[in-house]
Amino acid sequence: MGLQVSIRKSGDVTILDLRGKSTIDDGESELLDSHLQKLVASGARKLLLNLADLTQVDSSGLSVIVGTCVSLRRQGGDLRVLRPSGLVLEVFRVVRLLEAIPSFEDEAQALASFGSRGYVASSS
């Protein structure tokens, strides 16, 4: 399947729904990095990665997520994750990433944690 990325907005939070895997194999992590860099370059400062349908992540995927998170925090923004599960959750746990990047099970709570106000628009 590779990686499929759908992008939508809720207030000032940009939500990326990830489906498939983010590994180095066929450039999936590179693809994710490209999406994230474009969003940051276009002014997005609050990113929520929905990982519910992400089935695999390796060190390349972690690096992209962490690199974007650090970059956003320097610019006053943040990156948070939603519903990591299975192997992805296991990987996040073993490298203790959940201590550095907030994770949520509920999208409304995740959005509220950014201080966003209401659902405004949706796109893909």
Partner 1 sequence: MTVPCSSAAPVQQKTALVVASGTDIDELLRSVLASDGWSIHHAVDNQHALALATTDPFDLIVTGRKMLGPDDVELLRKIRSARAHVRLIILTDRFTPGDVISAIREGAFSYFSAPFDASELAEMVRAAMTSPCWDDGIEVMSATPAWVRLAARCDISTADRLVQFLRGVRDPEIPEGIIYAFKEVLLNAIEYGGNFDPSQHVEISFIRARRAVACRVKDPGQGFSLEELRHAAIDSPADDLLSHVAVREAQGLRPGGFGLLLAKKLVDELIYSEQGNEVLLVKYVDPAISQGA
Q: Does 69 bind partner 1 (CB under 8 A)?
A: yes
Closest to 48 (Cα-Cα) out of 18, 20, 91: 18
1 interacts with partner 1 by CB under 8 A? yes
- Under rule CB under 8 A, residue 85 binds partner 1: no
DSSP 8-state class, residue 25: T
- By CB under 8 A, what part of segment 91-120 binds partner 1? 91, 94-97, 99-100
Segment lying near partner 1 (by CB under 8 A), choices 10-18, 40-48, 55-63, 102-110: 55-63
62 touches partner 1 by CB under 8 A: yes
Comparing CA positions, the residue from 59, 60, 61, 74 lying closest to residue 18 is 61
Of residues 96 and 118, the one with the C-beta less far from partner 1: 96
Question: At CA 49, angle to CA 45 and CA 51, rounded to 5?
Answer: 175
Q: How far apart are CA 120 and CA 46, in angstroms?
A: 15
Question: Could you give the CA distance from residue 33 to residue 67 in angstroms, rounded to a whole number?
Answer: 9
Residues near partner 1, by CB under 8 A: 1-2, 20-21, 24-26, 33, 55, 58-60, 62-64, 66-67, 69-70, 87, 91, 94-97, 99-100
